Structure 1
């Protein structure tokens, strides 16, 4: 991410290209059954939207580890790249240990944690943009159910599991000790809320009960989705 205190210095086009290169380098084209060239062509139409919307918002830059904010994230849906395949491609900032799915997800259960109606990704290509992303540390210590209600009242949207993995993939700086985050946009019909936190010096995808607050776990959200 570009570190700047002035919005004109943030190059949204360069940031979009960086995110594409990151996905290609990590093997997302192969996960989606495409060549690197075909994968780049698939996401290319999103570039203009990323630039235009970021420029209109006047993003001020800054260190994501401190601000907890990211102007946009390029998301690849699970229909192209399953979470079981993408989570091990994540790492902590400056770390080497791969991310992992917690064993509290019983076999086959992760696929049941899907986007709710309001958080369903737009478009049909399996890729979309997430804008004005916040990790939501203000909700640390808040009951997840209450945090979700506040997010909705503000006209924002909680992140899905795929979007949380995408945020961590592109900007690993946002996941830091005592500022981890829930992904309330994916649910499976019970009281479990997926979340990303740090375990054994690596990112972990787990879940917590919607009625249980944690001092180190906030609620990630975004301003909009676009395909």
Structure 2
């Protein structure tokens, strides 16, 4: 019988998430005051999703717009096994991976509903996963959204059960898509990562048409501006 995959902890309330972003320095990095972030979270905590379901503490993730705070700034704030996160050396252009096929609310803060790690799609390629998610009425997570998820519930990262964030892609100068697609997983401390980074959260990439048994596809049911 296969091992049971540990599920991530439920997301904290939006007010608690706001406090964590403030404590970690995320708000300051994004040019936001503590009062702005707390006020947004307090108002949104009583909001509703487009489908009419209650939002707030019931599974909504508080995210900073990638235009206000890029992935490279978030990476060092991630933690796993007391190790800080990092971006792989061959992805110096990580901040150029932009939202693709995803409409983001205006403003520096917004909510992400129905986060799912996509374990059921492990060993799928991004090319296979994207149409399946679309058919389910879901959209793939952005890299920065996945990083916010790890900030709030670090146990979402489980060795051998991590995730890709294919809502962020890079358009090359000639108009074609870069075949790299972002993912978040746990470093083994080998190669250019360095032994000191073993068990650290790793921001890396995989090829668009490749499959990986240890990567699912993080997705969401939608995004909204809050209250």
Q: TM-score range by the shorter chain?
A: 0.7 to 0.9
Question: Are positions 1:180 and 2:162 aligned together?
Answer: yes
TM (norm. structure 1) is 0.80
- 1:48-197 alignment, distance < 5 Å: 48-49=46-47, 52-53=48-49, 57=53, 71-92=59-80, 95-105=81-91, 107=92, 109-116=93-100, 118-123=101-106, 125-188=107-170, 189-197=177-185
Superposition RMSD on alpha carbons, in Å? 2.6
Cα 1:98–1:45, aligned 2, differ >3 Å: closer, same or farther? same
- How far residue 178 of structure 1 moved from its aligned partner, in angstroms, is 1.2
Report if aligned partners of 2:164, 2:181 keep a CA contact under 8 Å in 1: yes
Corresponding position of 1:66: none
Distance 1:91 1:53 in 2: 30
- How far residue 33 of structure 1 moved from its aligned partner, in angstroms, is 2.2
Name the count of aligned residue pairs.
201
SS at match of 2:130: helix
Distance 2:202 2:50 in 1: 30
Further displaced range: 78-87 or 130-139:
78-87
TM (norm. structure 2) is 0.80
- 1:4-23 alignment, distance < 5 Å: 15-23=13-21
- How far residue 48 of structure 1 moved from its aligned partner, in angstroms, is 2.4
- How far residue 35 of structure 1 moved from its aligned partner, in angstroms, is 2.9
Distance 1:55 1:212 in 2: 35
SS at match of 2:203: strand
Report if aligned partners of 2:97, 2:169 keep a CA contact under 8 Å in 1: yes
Distance 2:78 2:61 in 1: 15
Corresponding position of 1:47: 45
More helix by share: 1
- How far residue 57 of structure 1 moved from its aligned partner, in angstroms, is 4.6
SS at match of 1:75: strand
- How far residue 99 of structure 1 moved from its aligned partner, in angstroms, is 0.7
Distance 1:46 1:99 in 2: 29
Report if aligned partners of 1:195, 1:207 keep a CA contact under 8 Å in 2: yes
